[in-house]
């Protein structure tokens, strides 16, 4: 895989990332349709029984309801071969139900790392590690 391909994969990832930071469910859905394979393998906790692209859309529907101002800041973006790795800091205000918790109005900040594999200009596989312990502590669901 060439350096040009790694750069192209980073640009596709950035396009995906800009969509999620738009806060607009329609833009997110449209962009996911453009850059994510319908049968994407999604290796992360999913709040629904859905699979593939629908599972990814469901995750973002839950996040947007819970944290309408959610923002994902890329701290590191590394591309090699057919993979892009992103280390992120996520911020938001808890204004909607999340994991059974009623809105608290609390601001949260947590970290995550995602690895995406691309093929033919589309995301075909995603692995995610999200600091849910920090999320739940900040929301008061578990003791600090």
Neighbours of 47 (CB within 10 A): 13
Stronger pLDDT, 43 or 73, i.e. the higher one: 73
Domain that holds residue 49: 3-138
In this structure, is residue 9 part of a structural domain? yes
Residue 144 lies in a domain: no
Number of domains in the chain: 1
Decide if 11 is inside a domain. Answer: yes
Q: Does a structural domain hold residue 82?
A: yes
| Within-domain flag for 143 | no
Give 127's strand partners: 43, 115
The per-residue pLDDT for range 83-134, each reduced to its tens digit, is 999 999 999 999 999 989 999 999 999 999 999 999 999 999 999 999 999 9
**DSSP string across 49-109:** S--HHHHHHHHHHHHHHH-TT-EEEEEEEEEETTEEEEEEEEEEE--S-BTTBPP---EEE
Do residues 123 and 40 touch, judged by C-beta distance below 8 A?
yes
pLDDT at 1 over 60: no
pTM: 0.91
Q: What CATH code is carried by the domain that includes residue 93?
A: 3.10.450.50
């Amino acid at each position: 895989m060439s350096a040009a391909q790694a750069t192209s994969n980073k640009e596709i990832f950035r396009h995906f990332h800009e969509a999620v930071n738009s806060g607009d469910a329609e833009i997110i859905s449209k962009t996911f349709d453009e850059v994510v394979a319908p049968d994407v393998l999604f290796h992360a906790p999913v709040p629904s029984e859905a699979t593939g692209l629908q599972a990814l859309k469901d995750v973002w529907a839950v996040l947007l309801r819970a944290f309408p101002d959610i923002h994902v800041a890329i701290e590191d973006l590394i591309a090699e071969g057919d993979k892009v790795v992103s280390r992120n800091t996520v911020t938001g205000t808890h204004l909607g139900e999340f994991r059974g918790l009623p809105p608290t109005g609390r601001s949260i900040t947590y970290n995550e790392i995602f690895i995406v594999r691309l093929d033919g200009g589309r995301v075909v596989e995603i692995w995610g590690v999200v600091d849910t312990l920090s999320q739940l502590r900040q929301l008061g669901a578990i003791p600090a």
